[in-house]
Chain A
Amino acid sequence: MTRLSIEALEKRFDAVRAIAGIDMEVAQGEFVALLGPSGCGKTTTLRCIAGFESPSAGTICFDGDDVTGLPPEKRDIGMVFQNYALFPHMTVNGNLAFGLEMRDIAAGEVQRRIAEVLGLVQLDGLGERYPRQLSGGQQQRVALARALVIHPKLLLLDEPLANLDAKLRDEMRFFIRGLQKRIGITAIYVTHDQAEAMVMSDRIVVMFDGIIHQLGTAEDVYDRPATRAVASFIGLSNFFEGTFSGQVGVHYGLDTALGRIGCGAGFALTPGQKATAMIRPEAIGLASAVPNGAAAFQGTVAERYFLGNLADYRIKMADGSVLQVQQPATASFAPGAVVHVILPADRAWLVRERAP
């Protein structure tokens, strides 16, 4: 179990800055996802941690020991690649033994560890197969076993589920997370799939254009996104632009084209400042009559889509803007109906336009 600390990490490829000012602390046994669109620097960050890229600046420490200058083979990491990267000329046993042989572990112990890890990933009896004789899901588990059998300090996973079909991917999320918890290994997981990151991780690092926009739990990034980019990338959002009007009770006021909206904020603003609030479609309430005691805005149902468990509405507001609203499918508002839109202040959140 290892603690990972990254400080002021930067990587330039010629003139292009791939990542800059990456700071993070990962606790022992923690599962952290690096989440972002392609080209955001999440893979570069992982490759710096693994030692495949040498950073242009900054330090990487495992348990307080600076490993920034160490080659990958001296870092004691287990890595799972997107395409699994299993050695095609070796059997499953050969693949699993490879890392142990590099550590000069005695043959008897190698056999014991291989049997143990094959049990762990539920592949008992497949040791003599070659990778090409295994299904995608099985190859995935061999790759995981090969990374774990060496008892590494850190488990690094680079989009390991991207090549699996949807159903298997869903199963593997819980399988990998369960295994990581059972072993108690510290894990860094790169993905562009927000659902994957939310289901699997203790904390999520959301990255855009080489910098960290937010580092927090799934609830943090979903309910209290730091920036507009985070809010748009994770889940669905409605944005309201307006002028900050200061504190109103426990919340803050934002004067928008619709009127004043109550919202929360994670950073300091001064009254009169331009600001943006976001609210999730399912947080918005719809009512046919004017509700008591809640601020409501009148709108017209423009479209309604049935999603099974939810109904997805487009509500045209007085100022011409269109809100996306999701409600349980049981309540139903027909297109053309006039509705009252409730924007709960404890579900609206002020977001920054840029990363802090």
Chain B
Amino acid sequence: MSERPARPTKLPLGLLLALPVLVTVGALIVVPYVNIVIMSFRTPSTTRPYAPGFTIDNYARALTDSFYLELLGDTVRLAVMITALCLVIAYPAAYHLARTTSRWRGVLYALVLSPLLVGVVIRSFGWIILLANNGLINQMLRALELPALPLMYNEFGVVLALVHVFLPFMVLPLMGAIQGIDPRLEEAARSLGASRTKVFRRVVLPLSMPGVQSGCILVFVLSCGAYVTPALLGAGRVHTLTTEVVTMLDQFLWPRGAALALILASAGLIAVWLWAHFSGRTMRGLA
């Protein structure tokens, strides 16, 4: 009888392959999130990260104080506005990019991605140079003896800058979805008597809904969580839940900040779920 060397018990290959991802996700996402959840139930203290003992007071305050509720409302309203603007602006561009056979396609594609090529702080300062009260645009207006416009330190500037940077996140999923629609479906619809508008409403839009759905979710979630742009372009005059969370952290009220952050995350999740549910229904309804 031949003696076989005992094989060492080994991990399944699949698990081995997934290990780096599991470790990274675990260390960088799961652990911090768990920590945030625990933190949100701790007793706040102004002199150190938290005082001993646990409480639900952080949530109770946030959910009963009209200040925070209004802030949550503002944050969601801004995110919805940004998402809607992105959708309206991105759709024609995505359609064109998906259908064009032009040799400029690569250039157009790069242009769509261009907002992401500049870091958030530099991009924000770029906007400040343009939009400030004595910025480029207002200087030109004054030179033409026109009244200056309030372009930043308000929601307008924040929405403008966020729409700009989130556009690629809307264009790309839309483009993917539209590319998946056979152009002959549009021709078939037209041969059956549908005008361009009706072709869009009855064929292209319903079939691109998966792209609309994912693009909107991406932009909405990113908008809810945006901090640097509202902070720099709002300059303390545009308040969202994220800026408020950071204010709390500055004041050493970590447990309060954690609770607010989790409330925002939950509100975002609920909004995304509602949207996915609603748009899925529309998708079937439009057909």
Contact = CB atoms under 8 A, between A and B. Distances in A.
B190 A71 contact: yes
B266 to A, nearest CB: 33
Given A85-B182, A87-B185, A102 B192 contact: yes
Contacts of A76: 193
26 contacts: A52-B190, A71-B190, A73-B190, A73-B193, A73-B194, A73-B195, A76-B193, A77-B191, A78-B191, A78-B192, A79-B188, A79-B191, A81-B184, A81-B188, A85-B185, A85-B187, A89-B206, A89-B207, A89-B284, A89-B286, A98-B192, A98-B194, A102-B193, A102-B194, A150-B193, A156-B191
A52 B287 contact: no
Interface in A34-89: 50-52, 71-73, 75-79, 81, 83, 85-89
A85 to B, nearest CB: 4
A73 B207 CA distance: 21
Contacts of B194: 73, 98, 102
Interface residues of A, number: 28
Interface in B146-204: 182, 184-185, 187-195, 198, 202-203
B188 A87 contact: yes
Contacts of B192: 73, 78, 98-99, 102, 146, 150
A103 interface: yes
A310 interface: no
Contact of B191 (A50, A87, A94): A50
A72 B190 contact: yes
A265 interface: no
B178 to A, nearest CB: 14
Contacts of B187: 50, 52, 72, 79, 81, 85
Contacts of A99: 192-193
Contact of A85 (B184, B198, B206): B184
Interface of B: 182, 184-185, 187-195, 198, 202-203, 206-207, 283-284, 286-287
A78 B284 CA distance: 26
B184 A98 contact: no
Contacts of A147: 191
Contact of B184 (A83, A89, A102, A103): A83
B195 A98 contact: no
A123 interface: no
Given A94-B287, A98-B192, 7 more contacts: A73-B191, A76-B193, A78-B192, A87-B203, A89-B286, A89-B287, A99-B192
A85 B193 contact: no
A71 B193 CA distance: 9
Contacts of A81: 184, 187-188
A72 B287 contact: no
Contacts of A73: 190-195
Given A73-B194, A83-B182, A88 B207 contact: yes
A264 B286 CA distance: 63
A87 B195 CA distance: 16
B103 to A, nearest CB: 12
A86 B203 CA distance: 11
B182 A90 contact: no
Contacts of B207: 88-89
Nearest to B283: A89
A90 B203 CA distance: 9
A75 B187 CA distance: 13
A52 B186 CA distance: 11
Contacts of B190: 51-52, 71-73
Given A98-B194, A98-B202, A99-B193, A85 B188 contact: yes
Contacts of B284: 89
